[in-house]
Structure 1
Amino acid sequence: MRWFGFGFNAFGQIYVHVKAPKGESSDAVKDVTVSSPTELTISSDCCWKSVQIKASWSRRASSLLDGDSHVSLAGFCAESYVKHSSGCTDAFISESYLTLVFPDRVESWDLQKEVEAPAWSMEIKTQPDTRGPPLSLPLVPGGYIAMKPPFYRSLSPHLKAKSLSLSAEHAILLTASGAVYTWGLGSHGQLGHGGLTSEEEPRAVEALWGMPMSCVAAGAWHSVCISDGGDLYVWGWNESGQLGLPSRGLRKALQQQTGQQAGSGAPCQHATTPPAKEPQEGEKHEEVFISIQAFPALLDVTPPCEIRTVSCGCRHTAAVTTEGDLYTWGWGDYGQLGHQSLFSLDEPRRVEFFREQQMCVVDVVCGAWNTFAAVVKAEEKACTSN
């Protein structure tokens, strides 16, 4: 398995900047924006086969889970190897803290200080009668780990949490039965309860009740989940098209740029959106735009396909199909959509790079302004699809 990254790279999260020799000018824009999928490298001598990626705004954490398990960091003020991570089984990164899980404990380390002890730690008591797969961060026995102190937050045992996705302001939880619960800030409809109010405690998303879900993801102000049948449901803020629904903000930006082009007579090199489609004869010219979607909405992906997994950045979304294709949409000013352009999109579009290279995408992880995709060769797909 290989990992590729694209999008925001100002701190070297995707590849390390190469300083230009004296007297030569460097292409700073190229270093900051990576619009074409670029293969990642790691400093340690290991295979990518069992590597997991987690990302924050300025950092990327690569966890090697086979053999001498450990975590490597790339990005802002980051060491290549986290010396306290040997033996860890999972990792979770925010802008300020790196949380590590070991067989007997959980530790959160302050990334902004050089210290020899974690900022917080908790002992894990083994429970031999526990059934089901092990919990993944940010879930831990009895609760979850937040991005800032207090780190440990308890969860009611009746929820039977299966997975949890956190943004800076809200959370979305998937239970073992496939029910979805949300809580936190609700100002942009990101909780999916039909209003803009916040919730202090987990509350079931009633619009999805009775439809078991298999995956959940949280962006900065939007949420996404996948049904057992591979359907995609979206809700929250859509100003940058991150829901894959028509966005007035993107269309207005396109009109402004089109006007500037017409006035200057020069092509626009960094357009926000691709050219709009001309209405066909008999079609209505009026469009319905979505700024906030307070209830979950079914998102159609063309051509029709089943979604396997999904991840959200700050204002963009990426989804992997069961056939191994990667679709992205939303804000794209740093190339985080992977379409080898700086376009933003308000509808899902397949990243053609991987198909052209005869690669199948098996996983995707979004940072705030970038995207990381795990791929295998097309002939290996059958081994990873089950």
Structure 2
Amino acid sequence: MAKFIMNRMAAGHAHSLIVTERREVIAWGCNSHGQVGTGDFLDKHSPQIVLPGSSEAKSVAANRSTSLCMTYSGELFAWGCNEDALLGIGTMLPKIPNPTKVDTLGHRIAYIAAGGKHNMAVTEEGRLLIWGSNEYGQLGDGTTRPRLAPGLLELPGDVRC
């Protein structure tokens, strides 16, 4: 593998992700849920290019066995464990081993965060998208129902992210 400069990084329970200066996503580690993103479920003991530079990766986030990536164009990709609808791709398939585009309701993403059972993204307009488990009300939507895909959370008053 050619040398690279790392710009961003994230760590899951037993997998790692980085974004290089060439805007690639490189990952390695435990891949039992496809969280490394190589299209299979075999552990990767050395860094693997998951998204090429043409994907224009900007940032990554990870939780236990799920990986997220946002691009400079504001797109969001997710892969790995989809328990509790963590990937936000609108399905309950348990494992997705390839980066999959997430429908962000027409919004461009500016920031991403990965929680233990839910994920969030901030849009360029400062709106908050939420999805995943809501067992403890962690999505903040007044329910305990999970969200299979991102939904906008109305924040009180004039609060913006």
Q: Which amino acid aligns with 1:165?
A: A
8 Å Cα contact 2:29-2:43 kept in structure 1: yes
Instruction: State the alpha-carbon separation in 2 of the partners of residues 176 and 296 from structure 1.
Output: 19
Report the counterpart of residue 359 of structure 1 in structure 2: 159
Answering whether residue 5 of structure 2 is matched by residue 160 of structure 1, we say yes
Are 1:297 and 2:141 matched, yes or no?
Answer: no
Counterpart of 2:14? 169
Q: Which amino acid aligns with 1:229?
A: S
- 1:157 CA drift (Å): 9.0
TM-score, normalised via structure 1 length: 0.40
Give the aligned partner of residue 347 of structure 1: 149
One-letter amino acid matched to 1:220: R
Distance in 2 (CA, whole Å) between partners of 1:328 and 1:190 is: 20
CA distance in 2, matches of 1:231, 1:297: 11
Structure 2 counterpart of 1:222: 66
Aligned residue pairs, count: 161
Partner of 2:45: 200
- Helix, strand or coil: the match of 1:359? coil
Higher helix share: 1
Alpha-carbon distance between aligned partners in 1 of 2:8 and 2:101, rounded to the nearest angstrom? 21
Q: CA RMSD in A?
A: 1.6
SS of the equivalent of 1:210 reads: helix
Maintained 8 Å contact 1:240/1:247: no
What's the CA shift for 1:209? 4.4
What per-residue deviation string (whole Å, max 9, x for no partner) do you get for residues 272-302 of structure 1? Answer: xxxxxxxxxxxxxxxxxx2211111111122
CA contact (8 A) 1:221 1:314 kept: no
Alignment of 1:115-264 (within 5 A): 158-206=3-51, 208-248=52-92
In 1: Cα distance, 2:13 partner to 2:4 partner = 22
| Contact 2:25 2:57 (C-alpha < 8 Å) held by counterparts | yes
Q: What is the one-letter code of the residue matched to 1:360?
A: R
The alignment partner of 1:205 has SS state of: strand
Contact 2:89 2:103 in 1 (8 A): no
Q: Is the 8 A contact 2:13 2:65 kept in 1?
A: no
SS in 1 for 2:3: helix
Which has the greater radius of gyration?
Answer: 1
Partner-residue secondary structure (3-state), 1:173: strand
Under a length normalisation based on structure 2, what TM-score does the superposition of the two structures give?
Answer: 0.93
- Judging by fraction of residues, say which structure has more strand: 2
4+ long deviations beyond 3 Å: none
Please tell me whether residue 317 in structure 1 is matched to residue 161 in structure 2.
no
Show the counterpart of 2:108: 306
| Deviation of the 1:181 alpha carbon | 0.5
AA partner of residue 32 (structure 2) = S
CA deviation profile, 1:320-353 (whole Å, cap 9, x unmatched):
000000111001111211212222111101111x
Distance 2:2 2:53 in 1: 19
- Where does structure 1 lack aligned partners over 5 or more consecutive residues? 1-155, 249-289, 362-386
Q: Deviations over 1:299-318 (max 9, x none)?
A: 1122x110001011122110
**Secondary structure of residue in 2 paired with 1:240:** helix
- Give secondary structure in 1 for the equivalent of 2:144: coil
Distance 1:245 1:177 in 2: 27
